[in-house]
Amino acid sequence: MRLKAGDHVDRFEIIEPLGEGAYAETYKARDTASGQIVLLKSPNPLLFADPAIHQRFVREAEIARSLNHPGVQRSIDLAEHRSEPYLALEYIEGENLRRWLRAHPTPLPLADAVRWGTELAEALDYLHRHHIVHRDLKPENLIVTRDGHLKIIDFGTALLEGARRLTWRHLTEALGTPDYMSPEQIQGERGDQRSDLYAWGILMYEFLTGHVPFQGDNYLAVMAGHLQRHPQPIREVRPEVPADLEAVVLTAMRRYADNRYQTAGELLGDLRALRLPAGATPPAPSRSPVAPASTEPPPAPPASAFPGIGPLGGLPARSSGAPVSAGAGPTSFRPSGGGAPAPTYAAPAPVSPPGATRRTLPPPAPLRATARDLGPEKPIGRLPAPQSKGAFWGFVGLLAGGFIALVAVIILLSVVLRH
C-alpha cells in the first residue's frame, strides 16, 4: 500500500492502512482540523488512468455525497481542493458481515434474521427512492456495527438511474459475487432495484439456513444455479421457519424479475405483517431514515413494524426518531427504552369544501407473499447446470463420446456404401 501510519494526505493523518481491494486502497485516518476519525478510500493510481475507473470514482463520490441514512455509510466531504483523488467517508466501528458470520454460529435466530432483513430492506428502500441501485449487495459490503446493526458500504458498482452505461475491462470481484448476483446480472444486464431485492433474498436465505442456496466448486456452477436450479425450500432445512417468512424470502429470490417484489416498499409491507411463532419474539423496528442531504423533500417516516417490543437476541434496537451523530465516527443512537411503544405518524386531516360529504376509504389490504406463485420457474438456458467439476467434465466427456460415435457411424456408412 502506498501510505503508512503517520503520513499526511491534505488535512488527514493516516492512522493505519486497512486493506487493498480490486480498485482502491482504504485507510483509517484522523481529520487534523476536527479530530474526527474517517475512512479514506484512494483509487489505485495504476488503474485510475482508465476512463471507466475514473468515471466509477466520480460516480461513487457523487452517490456518497447524496446519502444520509443510518443504514448507509455517509460521506465526510467538505468539497475542498485535494492534492489527489480520494473519498473521505464515515468510519464505522465494527467488522464486515462475512467475517462476522464466520465467527458466529449460523443460522441466525429467527428474530435477529428478521431484524437484519428489515434494516436492509429499509436502507434499500431509501436508496431506491433516491434512484440509486447498489448492484453488489453481499456480506463483504455490509458492516456489523458495534451496537449490532447493519450498514451498507461500497457504492463503486452502484448505478444512478439514468446514468450512461460504463464498461470495465478488468474482470474482478468488483463486478459482483456470483453467490449473490441476480440472473439478469449474470446474463450481462445492468440490473435494477429488483436485482438488489434478489441479493436481499439470498442474504436472508443464508441468515436462515446457514448457507447460500446455490453452491458449487466453481463460479460457473454457482452462476448456472441461479439460472437453472430451484433453491431448496427453507423449511426443509429449518422446519421452525414460519411459512410466511419463507414465502417472503423466496418471493424476493424469484428467477424472473417480474415475479419478484417490484419495490423495497412492497417487500417491507410483507415483512411488517410477519408474525413469528411463540418463543421467537418479533424484533423491534430498526431505524427510520433521516432527512436526505439533497433538496428533495424526504418521505414520511414509516409506522413501526413491531410496536412495543424492546431489544432482543443481543442486537439492541434503535428508536424510530433517534438522532444521528454528525461526527465521522460510528453513528450513535438513543435506545428505545425496552417495551415503550414506537411513535406513529399521522397525516393531517384533509380539508373538505363546504357542503362536501367526506368518504372514509378503508386502508389497503397488506400484501402477503404466501398469496404469490412460488412454484418452479422455467430455467434460463437449455443446457443442464453442472454442480461440480466432476459433473462438468462428465458432461464434456459425454459430448465428446457422442461426437466420436457420430464420426464412427459416418465412416462405417461410407465404407458400406462403397461396397
Would you state the pLDDT for residue 176?
55
Compute how many other C-beta atoms are within 10 angstroms of the C-beta atom of residue 345: 12
Would you state the pLDDT for residue 120?
97
- Check pLDDT > 60 for residue 346: no
Q: What is the mean pLDDT of the chain?
A: 76
Taking residues 44-51, report their average pLDDT: 72
Taking residues 110-119, report their average pLDDT: 95
pLDDT band at 73 (very low <50, low <70, confident <90, very high): very high
Would you state the pLDDT for residue 21?
75
SS (H, E, C) the chain: CCCCCCCEECCEEEEEEEEECCCEEEEEEEECCCCCEEEEEEECCCCCCCHHHHHHHHHHHHHHHCCCCCCECCECCCCCCCCCCCEEEECCCEEEHHHHHHHCCCCCCHHHHHHHHHHHHHHHHHHHHCCEECCCCCHHHEEEECCCCEEECCCCCCEECCCCCCCCCCCCHHHCCCCCCCHHHHCCCCCCHHHHHHHHHHHHHHHHHCCCCCCCCCHHHHHHHHHHCCCCCHHHHCCCCCHHHHHHHHHHCCCCHHHCCCCHHHHHHHHHCCCCCCCCCCCCCCCCCCCCCCCCCCCCCCCCCCCCCCCECCECCCCCCCCCCCCCCCCCCCCCCCCCCCCCCCCCCCCCCCCCCCCCCCCCCCCCHHHCCCCCCCCCCCCCCCCCHHHHHHHHHHHHHHHHHHHHHHHHHHHHHHC
Given a contact cutoff of 8 angstroms between Cβ atoms, the answer to whether 319 and 333 are in contact is: yes
Give the least confident one: 102-111, 182-191, 370-379.
Answer: 370-379
- Check pLDDT > 80 for residue 319: no
Would you state the pLDDT for residue 39?
94
Taking residues 366-387, report their average pLDDT: 67
Distance between CA 265 and CA 387 in Å, rounded? 35
Would you state the pLDDT for residue 391?
64
Taking residues 27-37, report their average pLDDT: 94
What percent of the chain clears pLDDT 90, i.e. is strictly above it? 43
Taking residues 337-342, report their average pLDDT: 36
Query: Quick check: pTM over 0.85?
Result: no
- Check pLDDT > 70 for residue 224: yes
Would you state the pLDDT for residue 121?
97
Q: Which of 284, 261, 246, 324 lies closest to 124, judged by CA?
A: 261
- Asked if residue 231 has a cis previous peptide bond (ω within 30° of 0), the answer is no
Would you state the pLDDT for residue 161?
62
Residue range 9-22, pLDDT digits in tens:
999 999 999 988 77
Would you state the pLDDT for residue 137?
94
Would you state the pLDDT for residue 368?
61
**Which residue, chain included where needed, has cell 412495543?**
308
Q: Residues with catalytic annotation?
A: 136
- Check pLDDT > 90 for residue 381: no
Give the least confident one: 98-102, 108-112, 355-359.
Answer: 355-359
pLDDT band at 77 (very low <50, low <70, confident <90, very high): confident
- Check pLDDT > 90 for residue 102: yes
Distance between CA 253 and CA 230 in Å, rounded? 10
Distance between CA 290 and CA 148 in Å, rounded? 19
pLDDT band at 296 (very low <50, low <70, confident <90, very high): very low
300 alpha-carbon distance from chain centroid: 23
Would you state the pLDDT for residue 347?
35
